[in-house]
Amino acid sequence: MPRAPASRTTARCSGPEPHANATLRRKTRMRQAVLDLEESMIRQVANAGMGRSDVLKFWFGESDEVTPAFIRDAAIASLQQGETFYAHNLGLPELREAIARYATGLRCCGAAAIDADRIAVTSGGVNALMLAMQALVDAGDEVVAVTPVWPNLTAQPLIMGAKLRCVSLRPVASQWQLDMDELLAAITPRTRLLIVNAPNNPTGWTLSRAEQETLLAHCRRTGTWILADEVYERLYFEPTENGCAPSFLDIAAPEDRLLVVHSFSKSFLMTGWRLGWLVMPPGMTPHMGKLVEFNTSCAPVFVQRAALVALARTDDVTPQLVAHLKTCRDTLVPLLQALPGVEVAPARGGMYAFFRLSDQARFGDSLATAKRLVVEAGLGLAPGNAFMVNPAPEAQGWLRWCFASRDVARLGQGVERLARWLPGA
């Protein structure tokens, strides 16, 4: 995998030209930040293949395995008992306690225990992230994000009217790496919030413990909040003390300016259930409850009942899922590496292979390439430039393949379609 261009990768990424939709704004009276939002490129590709049974779909970030029956049964039992009413804004007390025990159990030796008064149950990880933005970011605030990253994480601060600054990871020696000096230089006393997703969607890059310690110490000095999206913490393939990726919660004090987002979606095969949680300083939790009230009021009780069972039977779900995902990764990546003109390295965590087609003259526009693959090869992948804020030349030519496939053979079938489609096949 080649070294990224030598040009500076820190960029202002404030979105489209501010007056591009001025006429539409006058007609609709909507906020310019909303009008300027980019349509999801992943959805654009998926829409091109919707309704086509001949397309192998690897574009969305979810497994094709159904939620385990015992989790579904818990939700059904709750509904049958008539639990169809509002719950506490912050979530069922018993679920908050269960999440606190679960999160504490994942911590390394010496880490601070996580109490229930630091937990807010949310209507999905996306909702948790947006609540964090609403709680911390004012219009005009400076926000720094590490990219490539799932597009919601860069769209949300723009919705809030923030000034977004991006620091890009670099592909070096077949692995994505962070230039720590560059990131530290970007985080100043003017920086309200740092956004980090690790393990990362789409690259699989993960912060080391030393990098987390450096960032936490620096943000303490600058007074900068850290928003850590750690939803892939359990989906980690390297040996560690606790079987998880490094977490900021392993090293932070309860009162640190740190918000950590988690979700039941990935580790419990519950993407469609829309349930997540936030870990925050205890003094912040009552105010987060007010925000939940004005966003969603609460998460559905029957979904929370299912989550309680999921946590109680974690060992019946997550370890097998991680082992299967590792098999999927170790099946797909060598097949991709064997294709001429394809550059890819195995991800340390997550559920994605982020790979590059080296012929930039043919495949430089990742969105166009992904759409062509749907139509011409029956292969559904996510375009790499969906995970960068324009301008982003380093994203061109990249594609994301979600390898969370119940049938591992589908991955080989997909590579065969890609191989036949590539020039010279």
Residue by residue, pLDDT tens for the chain (425 residues) are 444 443 344 555 655 555 556 666 666 678 998 998 888 899 999 998 888 889 999 999 999 999 999 999 999 999 999 999 999 999 999 999 999 999 999 998 889 999 999 999 999 999 999 999 999 999 999 999 999 999 999 999 999 999 999 999 988 866 899 999 999 999 999 999 999 999 999 999 999 999 999 999 999 999 999 999 999 999 999 999 889 999 999 999 999 999 999 999 999 999 999 999 999 999 999 999 999 999 999 999 999 999 999 999 999 999 999 999 999 999 999 999 999 999 998 999 999 999 999 887 688 889 999 999 999 999 999 999 899 886 556 667 899 999 999 999 999 999 999 999 998 65
DSSP 3-state assignment of 198? coil
Which tokens sit at 28? 């609709």
The residue written with tokens 């899922």 in the block is 321
- pTM value is 0.92
Least Cα distance to 96 among 304, 306, 272 occurs for 304
Is residue 396 within 8 A of residue 360, CB to CB? The reply is yes
Cα 202 from Cα 48, distance rounded (Å) = 21
The distance of Cα 303 from the centroid of its chain, to the nearest Å, equals: 21
Strand partners, 343: 356
Could you give the C-alpha distances from 61 to 200, 243, 267, 385, in angstroms and in order? 12, 22, 12, 16
